[in-house]
Amino acid sequence: MPQTLPQPEKRTFLVVDDHAMVLGGTLNILKQEYPEADILTAATAQAALEQIAQTTPDLVIVDLVMPETIGSIAQANSGLQLLKTLMEKYPSLNIVVQSAHVQTLVWLKPLIDNHMGGFTVVDKSQPMKDLLAMVDWALHERIYTPREIRNGLQLKPAWMQVLQFAFQESLQDTAIAKRMNVSERTVQCYWTKIRDVLEVYPQNDKNLRIQTEVRAREQGLID
Amino acid sequence: MKRDRWQSVKAVVTTWGRGALPGVMVIVAVMIARLTGALQFLELVTFDRFLRLRPAEPMDERIVIVSITEGDIQRARTYPIPDREIADLLKRLQTYQPTAIGLDIVRDIPVEPGNAELTSVFRSSKNTIGVEIALPDRSGFTVAPGPALPSEQVGFADAVLDADGYQRRSLLGAHNPQQEYRFSLAIRLAERYLAARGIELGNGIRDPEAKRFGSIELTRVQSNSGGYVGADAGGNQILLNVRSGTMPFRVLSLSQIKSGQVNPSWIRGKIVLIGMMSFSAKDQASSGAIAGINPGRIYGVEMQAHATSQIISAVLDGRSLLRVWADAWEYLWIVAWGLLGISLGRFLRSPWKILFGILVASVSSIGICYGLILLGWWVPIVPVLLVLVLNGAGLMAALFYRHEQELRLRLEERQFAIEQTFNAIHSGPLQTLVGILRTAQEQATPPPFLPELQRLNQELRAVYGSVQREAIADEPHLRMGSAIELALQAPLHELLYKVYCNTLEQELPYLKTLKFKIVQFDPLNTSHLRLEHKRALCRFLEEALCNVGKHAIEATRLTVICTQEGDRQVIRVADNGRGKPSQSETLSLAQMDRDRETTEEPNPKLQPSGLGTQLAKNLAKQLGGAFRRYPNQPKGMVCELTWSAKRRWFR
């Protein structure tokens, strides 16, 4: 179930979709769930980029297939291109990908792995509550990618280092950050990535770190 | 019905017109080149070559050359040879009763001693022809005949030379500067010889200005005859069909005649030509058509013998004189071969067939032209070969281009169709369906058709997925050629990642055993890389990953790093498998490399070079970087290519 956090300030969401029906549905449910939030919409990649540049939203919900500009034909490429641009220009932007076909994301995997903000993926045919869950996770800067784009158990070298420092040398995040010469925030970001790879998702009353260690040992990531 | 046929004819003409336009342009260009004389030299050289290649003819017994050699000059101890010597020679020759004697030695000025004797010999011998130079030389001088000879006993020895100094034509008659019509020595001799056999010299029937003996008309050369362009066709000239063979005429020496060492039948009833055959006398002619010890150089008197012989042989033996086609026929002939060249490309679609066709056509055209030369027809060969080969080469090029274009077009169309289908499915049915599904799932009691809807969803996605895979997965097939150029424009690290994903999906034994992968694909500086470098880097990664898949036994971990380390860019593939020991001959080259390298020290210079290794090394060299393969710790192999991130100004 989605958890609603106390909202310190007014949130801004941007929904990008060229299908009125989808746009309407998404808009409705978001308004119900986040009545305080300011929800903007865009129907083309170009419009989305303009909106983001102006408002810097807390969260962007994007489709993967859309027209580049108004009047042009929807293309798989322009949606992917928009996502690429977003991740390159706004490395800590929280992104929810809502699409009818999310497999295309497999080509963007290295970029997703580098992204520092929340990044979740939901298929358009999944129930609305799943969408809400993904929105919530993204707002919490968590990572969720479907299995088909994950390419098996695929990690970045830095994540492996984090695992080794944490579970072989039992270091705290602060110490790991120091050893790796990165910020603590980065280490935390690595953790969310690692959890996504190991499919350790937040459940009530479970210790994520311990769960992660168990899964990492199961998979042979650490000896 | 009629209209239909007309339409189809029109269509054929249109296709031909479009397809054959370059070919027609080639034909026109070659014809223009010929008209401007650009091909004259080549045509004349080929003409000579063909004439030289003819089989040897038997000696012409009707003409005997009496040569005055260097030895004779030395014996006379004076030059020019005195008139007495000549008079003496003529008298001796007359005893053998020749039909005609041609004295190819000018005697306009008395050369004492013995001028009186020579004068009386000239007066008494009606069968003797002396020579003059009828046409002025560069200084404007002509040489008069011996004063004792009546004008019907005088023939000129003038020659018409081509720009290359070769004599290919024989001048039979011309007006001298005094506007008197003069005959050549050759025609005078032939006239006498043939008159003795009852064949009189007359005017041509087809061409009244031509000369004719019986039924044989001596066709005049026009300024554009055969390969000639704007040649000086003044006077009455015919093409010179020299007698082939190394001994075309019997040659007797002055001393032989003096000492009487001759068979009287060699001279009786024959034409005797007396001339200088000594280099100091400089009476020489050049011909490309005569093969010999000193190719192309013969004595003037020999050339006179050839000119006389060709007329007599034509009349009496039916030996062919050289003739040419009318200009219109020549150009029709060239156009016909050009069209043949074009139709080769039209009907033979494969380049090899066209090449073969052009070869056969060229050889045939050469054969035909040679055959025609043997029959006495000089027809254009150089322009024919030009239109054939140029059209052939052009067609081949066009064919390859067309093939390339078609392939590109097909790929583009296919890509377009795929994208359209993809977009249509995406924007239409899929969106509607997911909307319905979502609403249906929201409801407290899901409708009974929900499972069917879900199945429909699955099915639609399967179609959609396969279409999309086509659209995207095509790109990393880097061996597909031109269509990939566009795909290669993408950033290198993205390309490499695609290669990595695709290669990992290949059915290779040790890719399946992999438990996890450690990968990093960072943007690389590719500003100084060409497309083929990017392609080669993608292939390198593919090759390295395939090697892991084939040879890294029980590998569980794969590390693929494409990043910048310091000022070096690196692609590194490492595994933790164990290389298998060599067992059989069936091991691939890469495997052999691997096996040897695990036992040898990892010095790149000492590594054996397999095919893959060699390619990688070449690539490293091109990029100014290094390729290494070394053991991984604690086990496995590392395959690494590094190159500088900075542009190199040297190399």
B388 with B418, same domain: the answer is no
The minimum CA-CA distance between A99 and chain B, rounded to whole Å, is 9
Which residues of chain A does B432 touch, with a Cβ-Cβ cutoff of 8 Å? 21
Between residues 547 and 566 of chain B, which touch chain A (CB distance below 8 Å)? 556, 559, 561
| B582 in a structural domain | yes
Instruction: Assess A29–B contact: CB distance below 8 Å, yes or no.
Output: no
Which residues of chain B does A103 touch, with a Cβ-Cβ cutoff of 8 Å? 465, 468
Alpha-carbon Rg for chain A in angstroms:
18
pLDDT value for A4: 52
CB burial of A19-51 (b: ≥16 within 10 Å; e: otherwise) equals beebbebbbebbeebbeebebbbbbbbbbbbeb
**Other Cβ atoms closer than 10 A to A186:** 17
pLDDT digits (tens, 9 = 90+) for B137-174: 777 788 888 888 888 899 998 888 888 888 899 999 98
Give the count of Cβ contacts less than 8 A between chain A and B: 104
Residues with Cβ within 8 Å of residue A158, at least 6 apart in sequence = A180, A182, A190
pLDDT value for B385: 92
Is A127 within 8 Å of B442 when comparing Cβ atoms? yes
The answer to whether residues A142 and A120 touch, using CB atoms and an 8 Å cutoff, is: yes
Q: Which of B438, B519, B556 sits opposite A156 (nearest CB)?
A: B519
Is B516 within 8 Å of A127 when comparing Cβ atoms? no
| B203 in a structural domain | yes
Q: Express as a percent the part of chain B with pLDDT over 70.
A: 87
Instruction: Assess B512–A contact: CB distance below 8 Å, yes or no.
Output: no
Pairing mode, strands B557-565 and B516-521? parallel
One-character DSSP codes across B38-82: TTHHHHHHHHHHHHHHSPPPPP-TTEEEEEEEHHHHHHHTSSSPP
B458 with B349, same domain: the answer is no
Is A125 within 8 Å of B419 when comparing Cβ atoms? no
* Residue-range definition of the domain harbouring residue B588: 478-644
Say if residue A8's pLDDT is above 70: no
Helix/strand/coil percent split, chain B, to 5: 50, 15, 35
B315 with B445, same domain: the answer is no
What is the pTM assigned to this prediction? 0.53
pLDDT value for B584: 34
B464 with B573, same domain: the answer is no
pLDDT, average across residues B94-115: 88
Instruction: Assess A103–B contact: CB distance below 8 Å, yes or no.
Output: yes
Interface probe for B, chosen from A17, A28, A99, A125 (most Cβ of B below 10 Å), is: A125
Nearest Cα to B66, choosing from B90, B33, B47, B82? B90
Instruction: Assess A214–B contact: CB distance below 8 Å, yes or no.
Output: no
Q: CATH number of the domain at B576, please.
A: 3.30.565.10
Q: What is the ipTM of this complex?
A: 0.87
The answer to whether residues B168 and B44 touch, using CB atoms and an 8 Å cutoff, is: yes
B526 with B575, same domain: the answer is yes
Residue of B nearest to A128 (CA): B438
Per-residue pLDDT band at B479 (split at 50, 70, 90): very low
pLDDT digits (tens, 9 = 90+) for B589-602: 444 444 444 433 33
Q: CA-CA distances (angstroms) from residue B530 to B170, B270, B544, B619, B642?
A: 66, 82, 21, 12, 17
Q: Which of B419, B442, B516 sits opposite A219 (nearest CB)?
A: B516
Give the lowest-confidence range in A22-26, B409-413, B461-465.
B461-465
The Cα A42–Cα B481 span in angstroms is 39
pLDDT value for A156: 92
Per-residue pLDDT band at A148 (split at 50, 70, 90): confident
The answer to whether residues B362 and B316 touch, using CB atoms and an 8 Å cutoff, is: no
Which letter does DSSP use for residue A141 in this model?
T
The answer to whether residues B639 and B579 touch, using CB atoms and an 8 Å cutoff, is: no
Domain boundary among B277, B307, B323: B323
Say if residue B582's pLDDT is above 80: no
Say if residue B433's pLDDT is above 50: yes
Positive or negative: CA dihedral B348, B352, B356, B361: positive
Is B438 within 8 Å of A127 when comparing Cβ atoms? yes
Q: Which of A109, A125, A160 sits opposite B434 (nearest CB)?
A: A125
Give the lowest-confidence range in A190-204, B293-307, B586-600.
B586-600
B376 with B448, same domain: the answer is no
Which residues of chain B does A76 touch, with a Cβ-Cβ cutoff of 8 Å? 419, 422-423, 426, 468, 471-472
Say if residue B436's pLDDT is above 50: yes
Say if residue B532's pLDDT is above 80: no
Q: CA-CA distances (angstroms) from residue A92 to A107, A117, A158, B142?
A: 20, 4, 18, 107
The Cα B343–Cα B587 span in angstroms is 51
The minimum CA-CA distance between B479 and chain A, rounded to whole Å, is 20
Instruction: Assess A1–B contact: CB distance below 8 Å, yes or no.
Output: no
pLDDT value for A6: 52
Which residues of chain B does A127 touch, with a Cβ-Cβ cutoff of 8 Å? 438, 441-442
* Residue whose pair of structure tokens reads 């003069």 in the numeric block: B182
The minimum CA-CA distance between B617 and chain A, rounded to whole Å, is 27
Is B519 within 8 Å of A110 when comparing Cβ atoms? yes
Is A128 within 8 Å of B423 when comparing Cβ atoms? no
Which residues of chain A does B435 touch, with a Cβ-Cβ cutoff of 8 Å? 21-22, 25
Which residues of chain B does A157 touch, with a Cβ-Cβ cutoff of 8 Å? 518, 520, 559, 561
Is A25 within 8 Å of B438 when comparing Cβ atoms? yes
Interface probe for B, chosen from A154, A160, A199, A221 (most Cβ of B below 10 Å), is: A154
Domain A12-148 homologous superfamily, CATH: Response regulator (3.40.50.2300)
Residue of A nearest to B440 (CA): A127
Instruction: Assess A182–B contact: CB distance below 8 Å, yes or no.
Output: no
One-character DSSP codes across B266-333: GTTTSEEEEEEE-GGGT-EEE-TT--SSSTTEEEHHHHHHHHHHHHHHHHHH-PPPPEE--HHHHHHH
Architecture of domain A157-218: Orthogonal Bundle (1.10)
Domain boundary among B451, B473, B495: B473
pLDDT value for B650: 44
| Longest Cα separation, chain B | 148
Instruction: Assess B430–A contact: CB distance below 8 Å, yes or no.
Output: yes
Which residues of chain B does A153 touch, with a Cβ-Cβ cutoff of 8 Å? 515-517
Q: Which of A103, A125, A220 sits opposite B437 (nearest CB)?
A: A125
Q: Which residue has the higher pLDDT, A182 or B589?
A: A182
Instruction: Assess B455–A contact: CB distance below 8 Å, yes or no.
Output: no
Which residues of chain A does B468 touch, with a Cβ-Cβ cutoff of 8 Å? 76, 101, 103-104
Instruction: Assess B116–A contact: CB distance below 8 Å, yes or no.
Output: no
Q: Which residue has the higher pLDDT, A204 or A172?
A: A172
Instruction: Assess A160–B contact: CB distance below 8 Å, yes or no.
Output: yes
Alpha-carbon Rg for chain B in angstroms:
44
The minimum CA-CA distance between B592 and chain A, rounded to whole Å, is 30
The Cα A122–Cα A48 span in angstroms is 19
pLDDT, average across residues B30-42: 91
Is B431 within 8 Å of A22 when comparing Cβ atoms? yes
Query: Distance from first CA to last CA of chain B, Å, rounded?
Result: 70
pLDDT value for A70: 67
Find how far residue B11's CA is from the centre of its chain: 33
pLDDT, average across residues B503-528: 86
B621 with B553, same domain: the answer is yes
Pairing mode, strands B211-213 and B201-203? antiparallel
The Cα A174–Cα A166 span in angstroms is 11
3-state secondary structure of B170: strand
Q: Where are the domains of chain A?
A: 12-148, 157-218
The Cα B161–Cα A207 span in angstroms is 110
The minimum CA-CA distance between B27 and chain A, rounded to whole Å, is 49
Instruction: Assess A149–B contact: CB distance below 8 Å, yes or no.
Output: no
B533 with B464, same domain: the answer is no
pLDDT value for A67: 72
Say if residue A221's pLDDT is above 90: no
B41 with B124, same domain: the answer is no
pLDDT digits (tens, 9 = 90+) for A70-112: 666 666 667 888 899 999 999 999 999 988 778 778 888 888 9
The minimum CA-CA distance between B465 and chain A, rounded to whole Å, is 8
pLDDT, average across residues B227-250: 87
The answer to whether residues B310 and B321 touch, using CB atoms and an 8 Å cutoff, is: yes
Query: Distance from first CA to last CA of chain A, Å, rounded?
Result: 35
Residue of B nearest to A216 (CA): B516
| B178 in a structural domain | yes
pLDDT value for B293: 58
Q: Which residue has the higher pLDDT, B483 or B315?
A: B315
One-character DSSP codes across A43-97: SSHHHHHHHHHHH--SEEEE-SSEESSTTSPEEHHHHHHHHHHHHHH-TT-EEEE
Say if residue B381's pLDDT is above 90: yes
B507 with B451, same domain: the answer is no
Indicate the number of domains in chain B: 4
| B207 in a structural domain | yes
Ranked by mean pLDDT, the top range of A3-7, A168-172, B470-474 is: A168-172
Is A220 within 8 Å of B561 when comparing Cβ atoms? no
Is A127 within 8 Å of B441 when comparing Cβ atoms? yes
Tokens for B648, please give them: 């190199």
The minimum CA-CA distance between B444 and chain A, rounded to whole Å, is 13
The Cα B287–Cα B307 span in angstroms is 12
pLDDT, average across residues B289-310: 82
| B649 in a structural domain | no
**If you average pLDDT over every residue of chain B, what do you get?**
82
Domain boundary among B380, B402, B424: B402
Tokens for B515, please give them: 């438990």
Which letter does DSSP use for residue B262 in this model?
S
Instruction: Assess B423–A contact: CB distance below 8 Å, yes or no.
Output: yes
| B300 in a structural domain | yes
Between residues 72 and 101 of chain A, which touch chain B (CB distance below 8 Å)? 73-76, 100-101
Residue of A nearest to B464 (CA): A101
B220 with B270, same domain: the answer is yes
pLDDT, average across residues A173-191: 92
B68 with B189, same domain: the answer is yes
